Amino acid sequence: MRTLLFTAIFVASSLSAMNLIDEAKNSGLKPLPKDQKGVEEILKSNGIKASHFDLRKVELGKKLYFDPRLSKSGIISCNTCHNLGLGGADGVSTAIGNKWKENPHHLNSPTVYNAFLNNVQFWDGRAKNLADQAKGPIQSEPEMATPAKLAVEKISSLPEYVKEFKQIYGKSGVSFDNIADAIANFERTLITPSRFDAFLNGDEKALSNDEKKGLRLFIDKGCVACHNGVNLGGNMQPFQVAGKYKFSNLGDFKGDANGMVKTPTLRNVAETAPYFHNGAIWKLTDAIKEMGSVQLGINISNKDAESIETFLKSLTGVKPKIIYPQLPASTEKTPLPQF
């Protein structure tokens, strides 16, 4: 009798897990791609244009990503605001840029991990791919403050870089487009598979029962309406649909021309506090409850918020191993830092 009871419970549990996997997929949730071929398929399905992937571009892009000389001051790199050791973000409410000034719109730095798979880039969605996005912060006065011409001049003053660009890009060599393209190719490799992906791929035991309960609440409460797809976000959605965001007056950001805002990815969300476009909420359960009020028009209890948080922590993925690169030495021709 005990054996039959155990078997019945096991079968019911397995069926429940499989049903939840199907329900998650039917709700629009998708696992991360397992390789660059899979990345390419997702990009094509989302209508995102990207250059030919090349491992040489990746290595060059990694150097550029960590090279602070791409900033006017010579002390700010891409990694400053998108720190790969801090969940791909910076851990502060608003990005700090040139001359140590806060972002004038009080915008929070989004994570760079898995960002290549977003449908759009920037909080207002103005860039369609990471190559276009990479050009923004480099040139932006409140961020790295380096005009495109100066960026090319800096990189062209370093023979090691010049040689690499010529080998990879041929006659076009060092150009601002190629600088951005190399950085984007490196960022394309920053994919973080998690236990949630294993679950979606059919491993019923990849999530604990508490995490499965949180996933079901995540679906049933309607969170998947905005946080869907391979990144559980990364698309444009209307904001303040059902109520007013309590910190809406912090900064002047109002979204794009239609009031649409890029939904942040929930991958590695437990590592990327503070939350929202202006980084006003530090506690994940508080962010969950605020989203329930602002977007869904519902009151999410502390208990349910904690359960959803338990699920969200399963989205913390395995980070690719990144070895800090040795950068080319400056030369007499390298433009001096400007403060």
In the annotation, is 102 catalytic?
no
Does an H or E element contain 164, and which?
helix 159-169
State the Cα–Cα distance between residues 134 and 138, nearest whole angstrom: 7
Catalytic residue selected from 143, 164, 211, 290: 143
What 3-state class would DSSP assign to 83? strand
Buried b (16+ CB within 10 A) or exposed e, 182-209: bbbbbbbbbbbbbbbbbbbeeebebbee
Judging by DSSP bridges, how do beta strands 260-262 and 236-238 pair with one another?
A: antiparallel
297: left (phi over 0), alpha (psi -120 to 50) or beta: left
Contacts for 10 with CB less than 8 Å, ≥ 6 apart: none
Helices (H) and strands (E) in the chain, counts: 12, 2
Q: By C-alpha distance, which of 5, 9, 14, 16 is closest to 215?
A: 16
Cα dist from 48 to 10, 40, 322, whole Å: 43, 9, 26
Question: Annotated catalytic sites, by residue?
Answer: 143
